[in-house]
Amino acid sequence: MSRRLALLVALLVSGCAATPLRAPVTGQWGGEHVGLMLNSGGGGALDYDCAAGSIDGPVVTDAAGRFTATGTHTPGHGGPDRVGEVPPRHPATYSGSVRGDVMTLVIDVPAIAARIGPYTLRRGAMPNLMRCL
């Protein structure tokens, strides 16, 4: 192997070693007005007081604990769902950070010009929801 090729291989290997793979954030997270369940296979579901949401893929933090994920937001309404009712689903961006067993979460929904949150959630905690009537 030439010296240049050996140097290139060494640089590539050292670059890979400097960027450790992070495991996705998983499990049940709860807080005031929000609950989040993140699946081990990636993705998850959210419940709010009067809305719901989904996260399409795994939530993976960077070295500082920050994350960004995409999914949908489905606003709710008071009263029962009507027969045949199809609730609107809007694209959403979920962002925040995880530090130990505490997560901060903000949801941006451009289609309805809404920023929801910030929420503080704890790993393993049950959500405290106030359902819309």
Residue 112 covered by a domain: yes
Domain count within the chain: 1
Residue 131 belongs to a domain: no
Domain that holds residue 28: 23-123
Q: Is residue 49 within a helix (H) or strand (E), and if so which, with residue range?
A: none
The answer to whether the bond into 87 is cis (omega within 30° of 0) is no
- Residue 16 falls within a domain, yes or no? no
Angle at 20 between CA 103 and CA 14, to 5 degrees: 155
> Is 8 a domain residue?
no
Please indicate, yes or no, if residue 15 is contained in any of the structural domains. Answer: no
Work out the angle at residue 70's Cα, subtended by the Cα atoms of residues 64 and 74, and round it to the nearest 5 degrees: 130
Tokens of 124: 């393993």
Q: Is residue 81 part of a domain?
A: yes
For each successive 10 residues of the chain (133 residues), what is the average pLDDT?
A: 54 50 90 96 92 96 96 89 88 97 97 95 96 79
pTM of the predicted model as reported, rounded to 2 decimal places: 0.80
